[in-house]
Structure 1
Amino acid sequence: MNDPLSVTYSARLRRVCEYIERHLDEPLSLEILSRMAHSSPFHFHRQFTAWSGLPLYRYIQWLRLRRASWRLAFNPRDKVIDIALDAGFQNPESFTRAFKTAFGQSPRQFRKRADWAAWHQRVPKLVLQEQHVMDVKIVSFPHTQVAMLSHLGAPDRVNESAAKFIEWRRTTGLSPVASSQTFGIAWHDPDTTPPETFRFDICGSVERPIPHNDVGVINGEIPAGRCAVVRHHGSLDSLSDSVWYLFREWLPTSGETTRDFPVFFLYRNFVHEVAEHELETDIFLPLR
């Protein structure tokens, strides 16, 4: 399936997916999408389903429902009716039915206590953006004091810890999102680490030590040092592909050796604030 015709065919359908991601707030007609794929509208449904594994309009609905779930969980001021309309539903009732069918919780239940483990089990693997050759730079990362909340347990539940950290930031004002940086420290590979021993630290930069609190947020640091850094564009679902690019493609030919500190991420924006294709995440690989 790597012959030139197959590559061209796949590239056309990827362009369709990228167009869908960028225009989720707009009507997405079969005529426009099939024309982008150089296909007849009569056959495009079957082509898209065979390639992506999902019917076209089901694929679009999943993308909209994913976005709605992040807004419900992390944007408490957004009204359910506004989220429903932005997801392409005519009224909150039809949105509630579709959301509960998809995730097993109503929108209000999800907002109150999201079951992220079930969310990950239910959401299908979607065809999102493809990573290309990446521009790796070497930088001197400064010593950074952070407020840190360690997530210990299944990777699928990291968003539960993220919600606690976001609420701590919001209520204390000690690491405001508008003026602080947000990091994630990946102590373990989620694909090879038993869930019960998986650790991922969620961090926000601070200017001074934070006081003791009942949430479990503690003082920490990201040490200064040389790092290889690459910018990942798009969905966090494919973040590991960019991490592996550093290890498989760049590191063996770089002449560099790694330092004894885990890979960490700098989140430049957030999925509940921008569309998935607009996400930007810097990946840092510590070097000697």
Structure 2
Amino acid sequence: MNQELTSISAHRASYERRFQRVIDYVHENLERDLDLNVLADIACMSPYHWHRIYQAFCGESLAGTVKRLRLQRAAGLLAKTEQSIEQIAQACAYPNVQSFTRIFSSVYGMPPARYRKEGSHTQFYSPQHLRSDTMFTVEIKEVPAMCLLALPHHGDYMGIGQAFDQLQGLAASRQLFGPHSRSIGIYLDDPSLVEEAKLRSWACLTVSPEQQANQAQSPLQAYDIAAATCAVLHYQGPYSDMHAAYEWLFGVWLPASGYEAADVAVYEEYLNDPRETAPLDLRTDIYLALRTN
């Protein structure tokens, strides 16, 4: 019996490693033509069955993954850089500006040039937000402790999706999802103070204490969040625009709130699934622990 369990565990670990190779390759080569047969070869799987296995593990088609990641990259470049629309289209592997504009508009609800000027990232810098904190709901909550399984991520926070995609496959492989599972991102460093390459974060899934004890095996690690009083900002919109919400939370809300931030990492809870939800409809709660004495 023990030999049988060991064999099953080894087989599962083999699948996990192969899917990690594919996930890494996709995230690192979004500007290239991602041929399905090449990816099947990277996974050491039959091209005939590869697509079906990927969708079962990751919850979306490979084409859906590539489209989602390319458009997330494009939205981030539009919001944070002055690159031309043509340069961004090329960086995200679209053959021309016309096809990029059509696909971006279908997902983000407006063409790229308009998104750059009017997208959700711009609302945080309107004159109104300097006078009022009613633009967003910030709720003070007593948050209980949480047990997590986590994957580390190093570098640009916008790249943490790579760790979450790996976590999705691992959780499916190990049957960790339950009715009360929560997706949590923990961000340890201030990106205005730490260079991008050295930023540290964690992609996490809430689990029971028993699951944490049994499944904290490489590459997953145990991570605990202590109970705390938190300010919770309810944000809706693309992940690529969320940096502006942090500017508002720390620069406008916190100084006027009468609270002090605790010396604890900020974390985010992702309330719906980016594989199934339009970017404008994504909902995220940003948790800022507060000092209570």
Would you say same fold, with TM above 0.5? Answer: yes
AA matched with 2:92: F
Say whether 1:196 aligns with 2:197. Answer: yes
- Give the SS at the match of 1:245: helix
Q: Indicate the residue corresponding to 1:170 in structure 2.
A: 172
Q: Indicate the residue corresponding to 2:265 in structure 1.
A: 262
Do the aligned residues in 2 keep the contact of 1:75 with 1:272 (CA within 8 Å)?
no
Q: Indicate the residue corresponding to 2:119 in structure 1.
A: 128
Q: Indicate the residue corresponding to 1:88 in structure 2.
A: none
User: For structure 1, which segment, 185-194 or 145-154, has the greater mean C-alpha deviation from structure 2 after superposition?
Assistant: 185-194
Could you give the per-residue CA deviations for residues 201-257 of structure 1, whole angstroms, max 9, x where no partner exists? 11110012243433x211111110100111011111111111121111111121111
Q: How many angstroms apart in 1 are the aligned matches of 2:178 and 2:268?
A: 15
Following superposition, the deviation at residue 260 of structure 1 comes to 1.4
Structure 2 counterparts to residues 108-119 of structure 1, below 5 A: none
> Of Structure 1 and Structure 2, which has the larger fraction of its residues in helix?
2
AA matched with 2:174: T
Following superposition, the deviation at residue 155 of structure 1 comes to 3.4
Could you give the per-residue CA deviations for residues 181-210 of structure 1, whole angstroms, max 9, x where no partner exists? 111111113344223321011111001224
Q: How many angstroms apart in 2 are the aligned matches of 1:100 and 1:250?
A: 36
- Give the SS at the match of 2:286: strand
Structure 2 counterparts to residues 1-288 of structure 1, below 5 A: 77-78=60-61, 80=63, 101=90, 103-104=92-93, 126=116, 127-129=118-120, 130-131=123-124, 133-174=135-176, 176=177, 178-207=179-208, 208=210, 209=212, 210-214=214-218, 216-288=219-291
What TM-score, normalized to structure 1?
0.56
Q: How many angstroms apart in 2 are the aligned matches of 1:246 and 1:219?
A: 29
Q: How many angstroms apart in 2 are the aligned matches of 1:287 and 1:136?
A: 13
Following superposition, the deviation at residue 144 of structure 1 comes to 0.6
Do the aligned residues in 1 keep the contact of 2:58 with 2:169 (CA within 8 Å)?
no
CA spacing shift, 1:225–1:270, aligned 2, 3 Å: same
Q: How many angstroms apart in 2 are the aligned matches of 1:241 and 1:183?
A: 19
In structure 2, runs of 5+ residues without a counterpart are 1-53, 68-87, 96-111, 130-134
Following superposition, the deviation at residue 167 of structure 1 comes to 1.0
CA spacing shift, 1:163–1:251, aligned 2, 3 Å: same
Q: How many angstroms apart in 1 are the aligned matches of 2:263 and 2:238?
A: 28
Q: Indicate the residue corresponding to 1:120 in structure 2.
A: none
Do the aligned residues in 2 keep the contact of 1:128 with 1:235 (CA within 8 Å)?
no
Q: How many angstroms apart in 2 are the aligned matches of 1:244 and 1:79?
A: 34
What TM-score, normalized to structure 2?
0.55
Q: How many angstroms apart in 2 are the aligned matches of 1:213 and 1:251?
A: 38
Do the aligned residues in 2 keep the contact of 1:232 with 1:281 (CA within 8 Å)?
yes
In structure 1, runs of 5+ residues without a counterpart are 1-71, 85-98, 107-122
